[in-house]
Amino acid sequence: MAHWKDAFPIDLAEESRHSRREFARFLALVSAGFTAGIGYLWARRTPLEGAPESEGGAGHDHAVAICAASDLRPGQSRLFAFRDPHDKCILVRTPHGALKAYRQTCTHLGCAVRWDGARLECPCHVGFFEVEQGFPVQGPPSRPLGGIALEVREDGMVWALGDLPKPNATGSVAALPCPREKGGAA
Ligand code: FES
């Protein structure tokens, strides 16, 4: 009977060298992929909600034209995408004629809010937000919507400029008290 080494002529030292080389090549490929992935994410980064803007609150580097101000009558709204196509926002003309814009993402569990002509409503769990500063006034949400700074330019177009600072009921940012804290939930 032939010796097993004759039947399976494998050079163990050579095999081990091959394995180490392949493993090193695999590691190099994984780290190159990881580096490319990080680079891609960095290139298309968007600030976290509530993160400070790089220049004084509302940065203008991502300004987006939404529509002509005259296109919206009091009580009307317009959807738009801000930072990227997934960054859904809503522009509304309040019943008093002011223009306001918010991210559509409900601060409860992330459903899209919609405009009911007077308030922003989240249909998922019947949450409501007032329109002046985006404070929650009814239902499960406890944090205000993300506000977008706006500008109406000379040609009458409405531009979204950047994220507004988060309003709070006691700080100087809040021009109005939170309706919930007044006990005046609608
Ligand atoms: S996700 Fe908006 S109220 Fe629950």
Helix (H) or strand (E) holding 21: helix 12-43
Does the C-beta of 124 come closer than 6 Å to ligand 1? yes
* Tens-digit pLDDT profile for residues 81-105: 999 999 999 999 999 999 999 999 9
Q: Which tokens in the block code for residue 114?
A: 């919609």
- 108 Cα: distance to centroid of ligand 1 (angstroms): 5
Q: Note the pLDDT tens digit of each residue in 112-134.
A: 999 999 999 999 999 999 999 99
pLDDT value of position 173: 45
CATH topology of domain 64-163: Rieske Iron-sulfur Protein (2.102.10)
pLDDT, tens digit, for every residue of 32-80?
A: 877 777 666 665 554 444 444 444 344 456 899 999 999 999 999 999 9
Q: Evaluate: CB of 139 within 6 angstroms of ligand 1.
A: yes
Give the model's pLDDT for residue 35. Answer: 78
CB atoms inside a 10 Å sphere around CB 8: 8
Say what the pTM is. Answer: 0.63
Task: Name which of 151, 157, 161, 160 is nearest 68 in CA terms.
Answer: 157
- Residue 50: the pLDDT is 42
Nearest protein Cα to ligand 1, atom 1 = 109
**Which atom of ligand 1 is least distant from the CA of 109?**
1
Residue 106 CB less than 6 A away from ligand 1: yes
Q: Which of 102, 146, 141, 136 is nearest to 124 (CA)?
A: 141
Long-range contacts of 134-137 (CB under 8 A, 24+ apart): 134/100, 134/102, 134/167, 135/167, 135/169, 135/178, 135/179, 135/180, 136/107, 136/180, 137/179, 137/180, 137/185, 137/186
